[in-house]
Chains A and B, each alone.
Chain A
């Protein structure tokens, strides 16, 4: 199959500072909200993540959501977790997704089902995230299924992404995990939400020491935090998250906490843009999606770049 790169990959290769957003699919069988959301982000984000039953709660499938984004003229990044499918189902869904026009794939383990709305369901984890990445790469580059059987024609040619968490312990191991994912085939990364810029700096230093910034496109994850209350919740109850106290204090003292939240997020993006090796920013505005265009604009990331030969799409 001829090389048919995604818009996302093309932008990275052009050296653009990429902006991506995130859409959580609804707990219903309607795609109208997704299409509307994708249109809302049009011209502000270069691509949009579609989460795969995030927090282990049943939602409209990430692949179907990706198709809705395509229909709205957007560029989807479909997430695929290891929790819900075995290798047969994963490969089958990958063929299906690619056949429907989805070209970007983000491979991740997935949240444990215990804290979702089906806590007694079984999980699968037939393959882990590293094996998933490798499987997708082999399907593309070696034209084989996981079992070794040849894919006779039209192999899925995904641009492969993975996640990295600079804030989980032990700290040094995070970079090695990232390197293992690159070795397995990961081409781009989206990091966990960054609040602690100093710690992220150290992470990037280690990543640069190992040359990982030259072997993959690293996108820094950010989130506008609506209020001091939300920040406090995240600090205390969301694992793998480093929320500095001075950020919570700053929100507390603000007259308009939402305006301050936007200000903080914009400052973070401006800072991250200058960290060597960071090639883009991934904005996760959980429950506050409508604020994304404002943030992108205030961070000076407009206008979004064009890809020659492609119509202006976003979403």
Chain B
């Protein structure tokens, strides 16, 4: 069953583009119908809730590790790094070479 579902999910982009109707459906509901192949149609709605707390960690762009908030720094260009990696990159932003001045202040 599972492999069948995966098979169904694996989209053949070429097929899709060739058989695309002129006015394809807009709604997500219809996509859910497409990918439900079990005999018993059982559409699951997974509601992801955000953690409404102060952020306690960030992810480092370089080492991809979860980094405690006060051990990370950010740059105006959008890069976030842990202090370790920042040190290894000569204390500059690897993208724009600024000093990465954004500090994260734990609540």
Check A227 against B96 for contact (C-beta < 8 Å).
Answer: no
Q: Which of B25-69 contact A (CB under 8 A)?
A: 26-28, 48-51, 53, 55, 57-59, 61-62
Q: Given known contacts A117-B80, A134-B26, is B50 in contact with A229 (CB within 8 Å)?
A: no
Chain B residues with Cβ under 8 A from A24's Cβ? 76-78
Within 8 Å by CB of A183, from B17, B75, B94, lies B17
Check A176 against B17 for contact (C-beta < 8 Å).
Answer: yes
Tally of contact residues, A, Cβ under 8 A: 41
* Distance between Cα atoms of A123 and B97 in the complex (Å): 30
Tally of contact residues, B, Cβ under 8 A: 36
* Distance between Cα atoms of A139 and B95 in the complex (Å): 38
Check A117 against B58 for contact (C-beta < 8 Å).
Answer: yes
Give the nearest-CB partner of B48 in chain A. Answer: A122
Check B96 against A226 for contact (C-beta < 8 Å).
Answer: yes
Give the nearest-CB partner of A120 in chain B. Answer: B51
* Distance between Cα atoms of A214 and B77 in the complex (Å): 35
Q: Is A287 an interface residue (CB 8 A)?
A: yes
Q: Is A71 an interface residue (CB 8 A)?
A: no
Chain A residues with Cβ under 8 A from B104's Cβ? 117
Check B97 against A176 for contact (C-beta < 8 Å).
Answer: no
Check A122 against B50 for contact (C-beta < 8 Å).
Answer: yes
Q: Which of B76-91 contact A (CB under 8 A)?
A: 76-80, 89
Q: Is B4 an interface residue (CB 8 A)?
A: no
What sequence of 0s and 1s flags, for each residue 20-54 of chain A, a beta carbon within 8 Å of any chain B beta carbon? 00001011000000000000000000000000001
Check B57 against A135 for contact (C-beta < 8 Å).
Answer: no
Within 8 Å by CB of A177, from B13, B61, B96, lies B13
Check A121 against B50 for contact (C-beta < 8 Å).
Answer: yes
Footprint of A on B, CB under 8 Å? 13-14, 16-17, 20, 24, 26-28, 48-51, 53, 55, 57-59, 61-62, 74-80, 89, 93-98, 102, 104
If A27-B76, A122-B50 are given as contacts, then 8 extra A-B residue pairs at C-beta distance below 8 Å, sorted by A number, are: A119-B57, A120-B51, A173-B13, A226-B96, A229-B97, A287-B75, A287-B95, A288-B96
Q: Which 10 A-B pairs have the closest CB atoms?
A: A287-B96, A55-B78, A233-B94, A122-B50, A120-B51, A176-B13, A287-B77, A176-B17, A173-B13, A179-B17
Footprint of B on A, CB under 8 Å? 24, 26-27, 54-55, 57, 114-123, 126-127, 131, 134-135, 138, 146, 172-173, 176-177, 179-180, 183-184, 226-227, 229-230, 233-234, 237, 286-288
